Amino acid sequence: MRDRRRIARRGPLVVYNKDEGLRKAFRNIPGIETMHVDKMNLMKLAPGGHVGRFVIWTQSAFERLNDLFGSWKSPSTLKKGYNLPQPKMANTDLGRLLKSEEIRK
């Protein structure tokens, strides 16, 4: 693999809803990236498929997530017909489920 020695790690990511000079404030700080909440990109949130990047959310961006994706009880107001997927398992303790008497019979 060529040039793997010089890969720089990703810095923090600032997610915003209203710019209000935020992009200009952070553009000269090396390593910090900015992203609008409506244009979220998975490769910027988790570069290389590795979860755990330090993400700074503004309050307006965090509140905008409910409008974008909705909740389990209410659909999205911005995306037509989009609901969050429901979890299929009610009890996620798989070890306890496999050891239960109902399953062993």
Cα–Cα distances in angstroms (integers) from residue 95 to residues 2, 76, 98, 99, in the given order = 44, 35, 5, 6
DSSP state of 89: -
% of the chain residues with pLDDT over 70 = 93
Question: pLDDT at position 97, please?
Answer: 82
- List, for residues 9-53, the tens digit of each pLDDT value: 889 999 999 999 999 999 999 999 999 999 999 999 988 888 889
pTM recorded for the entire structure: 0.72
Average pLDDT, the chain: 87
> pLDDT by residue (tens digit) across 68-104?
988 888 888 888 888 888 878 777 788 888 888 888 8
